Structure 1
Amino acid sequence: MISKELMLSKEQVEQWYEEGYCIVREVIPQEELPKYREAFERMVTKVRANPSRERYNTRLVKAIDKQNPDAISELESWGCDFLLHPDLYEPAFTDYLNNEKLLSALSSILGDDLRVSGLKALWSPEGVDYDLFWHRDGLKEIYSEDGSQRHVQFNTALYRDDSFRLVPGSHRRPLTETELAQVRKGVADLPGQKICVLEPGDALFMHSMVLHRGKAPRTDMRRTFHYILAQTSLPVGTKLLNQYKGWYEEQRLGEKLAPAAKKLFDNFFQWEGRTENDDWYPNLPYKE
């Protein structure tokens, strides 16, 4: 049951549509943070022990030696997309989907009929500073004039996190020449950029079309869930659905999940058998 008392305020909803983001404070209570942190560390250890990009759709960055830029260096992980993979799955990863404050806040934007769309994680590399190029999650030419969207991406910080940068309002307009010059190849500060600061337990809701980037020095302890929930009517590629359902059934998660999380997966799996364009979210290795 989604609580109306925990839904976003009018000001927060307006910020989402107008600026492309909003921050919800203390979504995870402080006393619950340890269980999420412990589960996250076990997952990171496994990903780092298996550096294959394909196995967990691991996100990788090349460590660059500034004194010798041409030196051969190893790739380091800074995230992975497959938290449901049987190697990585922890009950805490789906327990979070029972969070009443989270679901009520999301329903303010998406409505009450929600489904899971992605369970991912982001972290700071050990040996190299993380400095991602400016980008939109999709084509740089695509934007939403009214600020609406049928899914919401959200980062939930387990430690203090100031790595996320965005240009408020950029999801509703074409990019400027200055912004276009930075897309997929630049990390320079942009006019009007906002650094989003999250305290442990806070969640950042972001529009996928807002211009954004991540930046985290190796000295930071970045541990952030990156999840996506969507309206039940949003089409999904069959590859993603079949993959998630395979892992879900292999681990018999339907018998283990609390009602709210189970409902999100049930809504997702209702798409089985439908033919949709797999290019919407292809089951391919992560591409830079």
Structure 2
Amino acid sequence: MTPAELRASLERDGFVRIPQVLAADELHRYRGASQHIVDTARKGEWPYVRTLPKQFPPWDAEDVQKGIWGVQHLLHPEMPGRDVFAESYFHEKVVDVVVNLLECRRDDLVLELYNMLCRPDHDFALRWHRDNIGPQASAEEELRHLQEPIIHAQWNLALYDDSSLIVVPGSHQRARTDMERGADPFEDNMPGQLAVRMNPGDIVFYNNNILHRGVYNSSIERMTLHGSMGIAKSDPERARNILQHGIGTWASKADFSNIPPEMSKLAQGMQSRLISMGSGHDVGFTHQD
């Protein structure tokens, strides 16, 4: 796809899938690092996890015995395999798409979130939501948020087959309908819904304020790298969207010196721009469940 086609697809549908961005050796390496940290997390030996059945941050590591559905902070300085994860986050093909979608320079980019969504210990689903707009928002509030300029790009990079992401295409351009607003939060047949099907090595970029949910099958292997990058902008809402996940508490300690030089230079610049946003101790949370 050309840059214009990428932007047009994202603007029209709210998501765009790019097939096979990873080479076979990269896929093998990322799977190995991912399997190791998932095993570590399930044993309670990594404190930053998404625990069942809680849907949104903050999560409590003491609940790990209830099972997990994700691993947080893949770029954390104490993360096993962090250099491998850093190479996947700052991957040239990923960054190229981000720059094209945001129509910015690499020097404008800010380090944001990098987590992994994994097979849950029991079947699990997220309710319908928009990431940065709470469920009680009025139609007017929704439209105000949805009409704001896009200042970050969010993606899922699948290491195995993945059809967990369910979206309502085009819903990022409008307020919820009366049916959507009144529907059961876990409605299985929302009008117009689409399961985004990904093969290993595919990446999907999506507007995180599209109406979407996740449906996770505990019998199907899942390791999907879930990241975002943005461009510099300072306001309380922007800070909350990123820092509510806890990245501000360790970002200044992250070390990117062991990845390829050009990647390392980009990473350090993005890191410094994130640090300028603050620690995130008092930004609050978008969702309460």
Normalised to the residue count of structure 1, the TM-score between the two structures is 0.79
What's the CA shift for 1:287?
5.3
The CA distance in 1 between the partners of 2:175 and 2:282, in whole Å, is 23
**1:121-175 C-alpha deviation (Å, 9 max, x unpaired):** 101113x112221111022433455584101110000011111110011111110
2:10 is equivalent to residue 16 of structure 1: yes
* Counterpart secondary structure, 1:198: coil
* Counterpart secondary structure, 2:67: strand
Cα gap change, 1:247 to 1:50, in 2 (>3 Å): farther
Query: Unpaired runs of 5+ in structure 2?
Result: 55-64
Structure 2 counterparts to residues 152-231 of structure 1, below 5 A: 152-182=153-183, 185-231=185-231
Correspondence for 1:95: 87
Cα gap change, 1:75 to 1:263, in 2 (>3 Å): same
Cα gap change, 1:40 to 1:177, in 2 (>3 Å): same
* Counterpart secondary structure, 1:109: helix
Correspondence for 1:35: 29
Q: Is the 8 A contact 2:19 2:201 kept in 1?
A: yes
Correspondence for 2:272: 269
Cα gap change, 1:151 to 1:227, in 2 (>3 Å): same
What's the CA shift for 1:261?
4.6
Correspondence for 2:59: none
What's the CA shift for 1:17?
1.1
The CA distance in 2 between the partners of 1:146 and 1:12, in whole Å, is 19
Q: Is the 8 A contact 2:71 2:116 kept in 1?
A: yes
Q: Is the 8 A contact 1:51 1:77 kept in 2?
A: no
The CA distance in 2 between the partners of 1:278 and 1:175, in whole Å, is 32
What amino acid maps onto 2:229 in structure 1? Answer: L
The CA distance in 2 between the partners of 1:265 and 1:134, in whole Å, is 36
What amino acid maps onto 1:194 in structure 2? Answer: L
The CA distance in 1 between the partners of 2:174 and 2:34, in whole Å, is 36
The CA distance in 2 between the partners of 1:232 and 1:8, in whole Å, is 25
Match of 1:26 among 13, 20, 30: 20
The CA distance in 2 between the partners of 1:268 and 1:25, in whole Å, is 28
Q: Is the 8 A contact 1:60 1:79 kept in 2?
A: yes
Cα gap change, 1:106 to 1:194, in 2 (>3 Å): same
Cα gap change, 1:274 to 1:38, in 2 (>3 Å): closer
What's the CA shift for 1:75?
1.9
What amino acid maps onto 2:88 in structure 1? Answer: Y
Q: Is the 8 A contact 1:167 1:211 kept in 2?
A: yes
What amino acid maps onto 2:75 in structure 1? Answer: L
The aligned length equals 261
Q: Is the 8 A contact 2:155 2:205 kept in 1?
A: yes
Correspondence for 2:111: 116
Normalised to the residue count of structure 2, the TM-score between the two structures is 0.79
Structure 2 counterparts to residues 246-261 of structure 1, below 5 A: 246-248=252-254, 253-258=255-260, 259-261=262-264
What amino acid maps onto 2:164 in structure 1? Answer: S
Q: Is the 8 A contact 1:241 1:268 kept in 2?
A: no
Correspondence for 1:59: 50
Query: Unpaired runs of 5+ in structure 1?
Result: 1-6, 64-73
What amino acid maps onto 2:197 in structure 1? Answer: V
The CA distance in 2 between the partners of 1:277 and 1:61, in whole Å, is 24
The CA distance in 2 between the partners of 1:44 and 1:150, in whole Å, is 31
